[in-house]
Structure 1
Amino acid sequence: MLDISLKSGEKIYIQIYYKLKEMIENGELKGKIFSIRELAKKFGVSHSSVIKAYEKLEENGYIYLRGGSGAYVNYNIEKKFYPEDHMENEIFKYGYFSSEYRIDFSTASPSADFLPVEELKKSINYILDRDGGKALLYENPLGYMELRKSIKKQLKKEGIDAEIKNIQIVSGAQQGIDIISKVMITSGDIVVTEDPVYKGAIVSFKNNGAKVEKVQLKKDGIDLKELEKILKREKIRFLYTASTYQNPTGISMSESKRKELLKLAEKYDFYIIEDDCSSDIYFSDERIKSIKSFDKNNRVIYIKSYSKVFMPGFRLGFIIVPEKIATSVLGGKYSSDISNSGLNQRVFQYFLEEGIWEKHIERSRKEFKRKQLYMYNRLKKIENLKLNKPKGGMNLWVELPYEITGEAVYMKLLRRGVGILPGVVFSEKAYNYIRLSFAQCTEEEIDEGIKILETVIDELR
């Protein structure tokens, strides 16, 4: 008996989802279930609400949809973890901060034993001896002046000219995105992103009232033809791109597209937010030039995080902001947390000036290149997987056979102590993708984890 009264204030498709979920778990529904038309009529709702509920049931392993035939129960009674219980809290839905994994392919930052702890201890002692209590006071909200000078010198080597007054120190890329969103977005503004895309950016844009439009990624970066269709149709506030070794795909925008994108920004009057957290981890002879390095008209707001490859808990990065919004960004930073740790800033400035940072990065490049090749070669042995080998970064973006969902793989691996991220974290369209990071793992762990992944895929086939 199908009996449900829809509550106001709750999403209809979620109510339908939970009702059918309960019936499947209780054994009330077996085999082929209601057609979309039949269920829409019973509930008195639109077909689209039923379709969304069925898609969610399929994503979480309760049913499978057979084209032209209907929906069939596919419930595994041994299942104990339900991502849908956290449906409205997507940042934490897939264990972003979980430490329970035996093998962690989900975290795109180095393992603890790879971090330069001894150099850090010596540097902290040196700074405290040199600066005493000054290192422990509130720092200028813009950031420690000497650090900004060192960053300016570093940027010069990378082809970026930046004024010290326009370099704003932040506690990583996410804070930079949050500040820019708060300062620049007015409710109803349109923001364009790549698809798939880093979820934290989307959350920040939407929380500040933006309408987000997504444009598909091609092998050489964002689809500029699709972007221009949007630009001709409506005014956008800015475009967000991780142009180099993009998260999650590893795709890098071609140089010709970087230049063309700047022309579009000038023609249609919008800013480009360039999120750079991976460009230092390149495996070829030369690093890729940033969009900012080609920017002659202050169209690019450049955000760089050092935390990803330095020390995740150190929380340090910077924004280069155009003169027009510099004061507003400073105000946004001040209202966020006043300033970053003066000690951390001074220590990192010492790392930059003494060449410790560059040595650490060179070591990181060699380490991650070796791990990437090892994981890539291991994955290539699994039948019907598709993947590319980026020339940098810390992730591999893996396409599963079309009938297998990333969420199903995620849940089965979770029960075996292996952590990954399913593609739906980054795009609704990426239902049969997973992101694997090799940053945390040894070769032995990669061997064991990929072996378990292969078993899981065979089970799901």
Structure 2
Amino acid sequence: MEKYNVELDKSTAKYLQIYNHIKSMICKKQIKEHEKLPPIRKLSQLINVNNTTIVKVYELLENEGYVYKVIGSGTFASVTNSDKEEIIIKKEGIIHFDSGNPSTDIFPIEDFKSAVNMALSKEGSSIFEYDEGLGFEDLRDKIVKYLRGKEIKTTKDNIQIISGAQQGIDIVCKGLINYSDVVFVEEPTYNGAIQVFKSRGAKIISIPMLDDGIDIGILKLKLEKIKPKIIYTMPNFQNPTGISYSTYKKKKLIELAEEYDFYIVEDDFISDFKFESHDNKPLKSYDDKNRVIYIKSFSKILMPGLRIGIVEIPNELLKKVLWAKYSSDISTPGLIQKSMYYYMEYFNWDDYLSSVEKIYAQKYSIAKRLIEEKLQGKLKVRKSNGGINFFLELPRGYLSQDFTKFMLDKGVAMLPGTYFFDNAIDDRFFRINIAKSSIQDLEKGISIISDNLDGFLNLYKNNSKIKSNKLFY
């Protein structure tokens, strides 16, 4: 306990001094992985600070990935970032089913290079100035036309250009969420969103997913007792499950938002493509109540390094979200915005999307067939009708963290399901993402999983303990 004591000076905020002290001990292994940190009250008494100061310290450590919390048990040291990087470096040449980024061979490098040059030539030095708050007007006009093709009716004045979907989630939260506000999320869901909600001090309530979308029955039971500020959802080809909402559930969710007075944050990363879905229309296209805040990322359909996306915002929330964006980074870089405009305007955007759709559809079809042939029967496979993710379940008595580490040693990297849940659980789930892999890697990687599955089941039966819901590599 004494190692946590630190002498505080007046030159720096108390919580930052304590944060840096504990962070340093974790990085130096003076606090071991999964070691429990002192309770808030005891640590505050030791250092002679308020409880709220320690709460802030633990929240900051958690947001940065140095600790994780287990409800009812306390706060524990996580694996340090340096350890994670070391594992990745040592595992060069592995098949990556863990990355959600697209393969670089689909990037339209030459066309986008021409678009950049065109933007520089036509816009001149103004390209390096700050754009107006909502973003480059010509790009917003172009986005309005693009969204019209997705049956979303909007105006350029409701479009905010953002630096990627993660920033979209962040600025929506800054504008709408206050400490102790309630946020509903799908279970499982995207970990990046969970961390943003926690950073705002929100109370997170998870609603299970069924094969046709969120469990409406449980959602209604929760709504009768608790009023959320927002519900975060991915209605098409959800991450990590690949589940898509039925048309009924899309419409019902909007009805419930109006009835119970909350907003829906729709995270749309790949609804441009149909796959095997009967309805890949965005939830926003059904929004006749003005209840959907629509976040559209281009990272999975263009180039993730561009860090560009959009938020379509109801009128009554515009000022709040605009201010949150300004406080984050003033504006998305003008060079990126204007290059994106010229690319969409002059380089056959629709043809490009069609070519990418064919690539993803082929990968999905092959991966689905291989998983059904080689893994179904031994593992449960979550039903999906498209997208870039497959969510699988080990038999009872096994944990995904053991499984993903075991398969990493065999040459295949995947994400354990614990990464997609709010709380640490006895988790048997894992995700296979097919975005980055070639057809050859899909065939080889799924075969490796199949060939080594029995070995894992025999070695690890009833021999695991839950550790954390944090990503270990």
State the TM-score, normalizing by the size of structure 2: 0.77
3-state SS, counterpart of residue 301 of structure 1: strand
Q: Does residue 201 in structure 1 map to residue 193 in structure 2?
A: yes
| 2:296 aligned partner | 304
SS at 2:273 equivalent? coil
Query: Following superposition, which runs of at least 4 residues in structure 1 exceed 6 angstroms of deviation?
Result: 4-10, 14-17, 49-53, 92-99
CA drift of 1:346 comes to 1.4
Q: Summarize the Cα distance change of 1:193–1:363 in structure 2 as closer, same or farther, 3 Å threshold.
A: same
The alpha carbon displacement at 1:52 in A equals: 6.3
- Tell me which amino acid in the other structure corresponds to 2:445: G
Deviation for aligned residue 1:97:
11
Residues 353 and 112 of structure 1, relative CA distance in 2, 3 Å threshold: same
Asked whether the 8 Å contact 2:33–2:78 carries over to 1, the reply is: no
The residue type equivalent to 2:233 in the other structure is T
CA distance in 2, matches of 1:110, 1:352: 19
Matches within 5 A, 1:22-421: 86=78, 100=92, 102-284=94-276, 288-354=280-346, 356-380=348-372, 381-382=374-375, 383-388=377-382, 390-421=384-415
CA 96–280 in structure 1, closer or farther in 2 if over 3 Å, else same: farther
Contiguous gaps of at least 5 residues in structure 1: 20-48, 57-83
Task: Specify whether residues 50 and 188 from structure 1 end up closer, same or farther in structure 2 by C-alpha distance, changes over 3 A only.
Answer: closer
Structure-1 separation of matches of 2:164 and 2:116: 20
User: Are residues 96 and 160 of structure 1, via their aligned partners in 2, closer, same or farther at CA, if it must alter by over 3 Å?
Assistant: farther
Aligned to 1:73: none
2:118 is paired with a residue of what secondary structure? helix
1:458 aligns with 2:450: no
Cα pair distance change 1:391/1:365, threshold 3 Å: farther
How far apart in 1 are the matches of 2:200 and 2:389?
29
Shift of 1:285: 8.2
Q: How many residues align?
A: 395
Cα deviation, 1:378-433, whole Å, max 9, x if unaligned, reads 22223412224633311111122223321112111223342111111112457111
Letter in 2 for 1:385: L
Distance 1:297 1:409, change over 3 A: same
Distance 2:234 2:90 in 1: 25
Give the AA of the match of 2:139: L
Instruction: Verify the 8 A CA contact 1:108 1:437 in the aligned structure 2.
Output: yes
> Which one of 425, 444, 447 corresponds to residue 443 of structure 2?
447
> 2:34, 2:78 within 8 Å by CA — same for their partners in 1?
no
Partners in 2 of 1:16 and 1:151 — Cα distance? 46
Secondary structure of the structure 1 residue equivalent to 2:209: strand
CA 153–94 in structure 1, closer or farther in 2 if over 3 Å, else same:
farther
Q: Which amino acid aligns with 1:444?
A: Q
Instruction: Note closer, same or farther for the CA distance 1:162–1:235 as it changes in structure 2 (3 Å cut).
Output: same
Letter in 2 for 1:140: E
**How far, CA to CA, are the matches of 1:88 and 1:417 in structure 2?**
23
> By how many angstroms is 1:238 displaced?
0.9
Tell me how far 1:18 sits from its aligned partner. 4.5
Query: Is the contact between residue 128 and residue 334 of structure 2 (CA under 8 Å) also seen in structure 1?
Result: yes
Per-residue deviation, 1:51? 9.7
TM-aligned CA deviation for residue 93 of structure 1: 9.8
What CA deviation, in whole Å up to 9, does each residue of 1:257-283 have, x standing for no partner? Answer: 111111111111111111111111322
Cα pair 1:94 1:421 within 8 Å, conserved:
no
Residue identity opposite 1:374 in structure 2: I
User: Paired residue for 2:57?
Assistant: none
| Offset of residue 113 of structure 1 | 1.8
- Give the distance between the partners of 2:111 and 2:435, measured in 1 at CA: 21
How far apart are residue 121 of structure 1 and its match?
Answer: 1.3
My pick for the range that moved more, 286-295 or 199-208, is 286-295
Identity %: 37
Could you say what secondary structure the match of 1:125 adopts? helix
* Secondary structure at the counterpart of residue 297 of structure 1: coil
Structure 1 residues 323 and 384 mapped into 2: Cα distance closer, same or farther (>3 Å)? same
For the structure 1 residues 17 and 207, does the alpha-carbon distance in structure 2 shift closer, same or farther, using more than 3 Å as the test? closer
Structure 2: distance between partners of 1:15 and 1:385: 34
**Counterpart contact for 1:105–1:438, Cα < 8 Å:** yes
CA RMSD of superposed structures (Å): 3.1
Asked if structure 1 preserves the Cα contact closer than 8 Å seen for 2:417 and 2:430, the reply is yes
| Conserved 8 A contact 1:198-1:248 | yes
Equivalent pair of 2:135/2:161 in contact (CA under 8 Å): yes
CA change 1:455–1:157 in 2 (3 A) is same
For residues 50 and 333 of structure 1, the distance between their equivalents in structure 2, rounded to whole angstroms, comes to: 32
SS in 1 for 2:427: coil
Describe the SS at the equivalent of 1:436. Answer: strand
Q: In 2, Cα distance between the equivalents of 1:159 and 1:94?
A: 46
| Structure 2: gaps spanning 5 or more residues | 6-17, 23-30, 37-69, 458-473
* Native 8 Å contact 1:404 1:460 kept in 2: no
Kindly tell me: are residues 272 and 88 of structure 1, through their superposed partners in 2, closer, same or farther at Cα, counting changes over 3 Å? farther
| TM-score with structure 1 setting the length | 0.78
Q: Is the 8 A contact 1:16 1:50 kept in 2?
A: no
User: What SS is found at the alignment partner of 1:123?
Assistant: helix
